[in-house]
Amino acid sequence: MKPYEATIHEAHDLLRTGQLSSVEITRSVIERIEAVESLVHAFLTVIPEEALEQARRADERRATGEDNPFLGVPVAIKDVISTQGVRTTCGSKMLENFLPIYDAFVIERLKALGAVMVGKTNMDEFAMGSSTENSAYFTTLNPWDLARVPGGSSGGSAAAVAADEAIFSLGSDTGGSIRQPASLCGVVGMKPTYGGISRFGLVAFASSLDQIGPFTKDVTDCALVLNALMGHDPRDSTSLQFPVPDYTRALLPDLKGVRVGLPREYFAEGIDPEVEKLVRAAIDRLRELGAEVGEISLPHTGYGLASYYIIAPAECSANLARYDGVKYGYSAPDAESMWDGYFKTRERGFGAEVTRRIMLGTYALSSGYYDAYYLKAQKVRTLIKRDFDEAFQRFDVLAAPTSPTVAFKVGERVDDPLAMYASDICTIPVNLAGLPGISVPCGFSQDLPVGLQLIGKPLGEEMLLRVAYAYEQSTDWRKRRPQLV
């Protein structure tokens, strides 16, 4: 095994037993980036010198007897998460030269543990998109087929882990932006419960939906990252207060007594038959592992996309009002007045999809339309949440596809916003209800990865990890890697 191929727990074993140093693992990851990045284009910024310096410090800390699973382990960070002194663009020309003056909560935590940041990953501009094609810089390509997208918006973080350009990575998920690219790239991706991981330092898109989470090579690593990042932070006013368990204790090999619900609306029209077959085979496997499987209806599922595409743009239009060319970011140099400067700055600084969503959200919130769109969508959100509440009276976890299709071709949906939005039809309701969701690889259709989505109760991450782990350990999917060089 090459060092760059390691999981977090494998890297930890190598480091703990002195077989490899962090400098050696980090150098291996940097060489891997140099070898494949010209094909995958996962990173907006790579910081090899800084990474090696962090690795040297991690080795020094370990030499003093310090130990934790992240000490000296290379990580990639989605470029929507603030990193002090390291360019944070959000995939936008608006923030092309933005250098945050503080670290996000999750970066503080990872730095305290001694993780080694190798770079910032590509994404759809301001996390709006499902393919990375909305990045103002370039499109990341799927390591399994370079003619296809990696999914999005956290496509760079997903592709980086799939291509072994990082041991693990962080992304953000507002409507599926971790789970959908994890599915399309064949890695594990989790969106925790809303409020489970602090959003302090996460550049805001839709604040009632945004959540940070990990991309990892297996479920054990996912549990380790939750151990590191879950918990209360007073600087995020929507951060939950709860006792943080040791999530690795949830990793059990069988599913005796676990009740798994199949929401029938997630297996309806629009789902690729091959994807459905693989997801249903995975569910059969859950049954073999001891789970009790039953059908359930979530009758308002079909309204999720519509509700989301009012609520998310409405919140986005308010959040992105801050880009005014005054405090930071692009500013039109030829502004003739303050007003003229707003129009020119925002016209040139934002790409088409961001402008489209700001327009849509502004319309939905404008005088005469607020009740018909925004308030109505929030009421539908209540109905969607109630569907889940009822389902969790009978079931511990729900199982469904993550994405209705495998990775689509670059350019295939880019001119059709509604077709692109439909990429997230299976993931969006989970954000509306604030629930945890995980995507775990469940096979291949025409050599392209397919993901099984598991949805849990609020703060039900342990049950999700248990089901995902038992399933993963009963398969060999995680051992298959894309052939890049």
Partner 1 sequence: MGSDKQASSTQKAGGISREEVEHVAYLARIGLTEEEKQRFQEQLSDILEHVAVINRLNTDAIPPTAQVIPLHNVMRADAARPCYPPEEIIANAPRVEDHYFKIPPVLEEQEASLGGPPDI
CA Rg, the chain, in Å? 21
Applying the rule CB under 8 A, the residues between 285 and 304 that interact with partner 1 are 300, 302-303
Establish if 87 lies at the interface with partner 1 (CB under 8 A): no
Q: Is 83 helix (H, G, I), strand (E, B) or coil?
A: strand
Establish if 70 lies at the interface with partner 1 (CB under 8 A): no
- Of 10-18, 69-77, 94-102, 396-404, the window that binds partner 1 (rule: CB under 8 A) is 94-102
Nearest to 209 by CA among 168, 153, 264, 169: 153
One residue of 149, 380, 425, 454 binding partner 1 per CB under 8 A: 380
The CB-of-213 to partner 1 minimum distance in angstroms stands at 16
Which x/- pattern, by CB under 8 A, does the window 319-358 give for partner 1?
A: --x--xxxxxxxx---xxxxxxxxxx-xx--x----xx-x
**64 vs 297: CA distance, rounded Å:** 56
Residue 212 near residue 186 (C-beta atoms within 8 A): no
**75 vs 159: CA distance, rounded Å:** 13
Cα dihedral 270, 275, 281, 287 sign: negative
Applying the rule CB under 8 A, the residues between 102 and 131 that interact with partner 1 are 102
- Of 99-107, 108-116, 178-186, 245-253, the window that binds partner 1 (rule: CB under 8 A) is 99-107
Establish if 45 lies at the interface with partner 1 (CB under 8 A): no
One residue of 307, 402, 405, 439 binding partner 1 per CB under 8 A: 307
One residue of 379, 394, 411, 447 binding partner 1 per CB under 8 A: 379
**151 vs 439: CA distance, rounded Å:** 13
Establish if 389 lies at the interface with partner 1 (CB under 8 A): no
How many CB atoms sit inside 10 A of residue 382's CB?
13
One residue of 45, 297, 362, 474 binding partner 1 per CB under 8 A: 362
User: 243: exposed, middle or buried (C-beta count within 10 Å: 0-12, 13-18, 19+)?
Assistant: exposed
Please report, as a single letter, which amino acid is at residue 185.
Answer: C
One residue of 60, 67, 138, 238 binding partner 1 per CB under 8 A: 238
Per-position DSSP letters for 144-178, written without gaps between them: TBTTB---SSSHHHHHHHHTTSSSEEEEE-SSSTT
Please report, as a single letter, which amino acid is at residue 435.
Answer: L
Number of residues that bind partner 1 (CB under 8 A): 72
One residue of 17, 38, 64, 367 binding partner 1 per CB under 8 A: 367
Strand residue runs (E) in 320-429: 397-401
* Residues annotated as part of the active site: 78, 153, 177
Nearest to 104 by CA among 128, 85, 132: 85
The CB-of-238 to partner 1 minimum distance in angstroms stands at 6
Applying the rule CB under 8 A, the residues between 440 and 459 that interact with partner 1 are 458
Residue (67 or 102) nearer to partner 1, CB? 102
- For residues 68-106, b (16+ Cβ closer than 10 Å) or e, as one string? bbbbbbbbbbbbbbbbeebbbbbbbbbbeebebeebbbb
Residue (337 or 446) nearer to partner 1, CB? 337
> Bridge partners of 121?
43, 78
How many CB atoms sit inside 10 A of residue 295's CB?
9
The CB-of-301 to partner 1 minimum distance in angstroms stands at 12
- Of 59-67, 262-270, 359-367, 465-473, the window that binds partner 1 (rule: CB under 8 A) is 359-367
DSSP H or E segment with residue 449: strand 448-456
Applying the rule CB under 8 A, the residues between 198 and 227 that interact with partner 1 are 208
- Of 8-16, 45-53, 152-160, 363-371, the window that binds partner 1 (rule: CB under 8 A) is 363-371
The CB-of-347 to partner 1 minimum distance in angstroms stands at 4
Residue (31 or 324) nearer to partner 1, CB? 324
One residue of 151, 404, 434, 437 binding partner 1 per CB under 8 A: 434
One residue of 96, 274, 369, 484 binding partner 1 per CB under 8 A: 369
Residue (36 or 391) nearer to partner 1, CB? 391
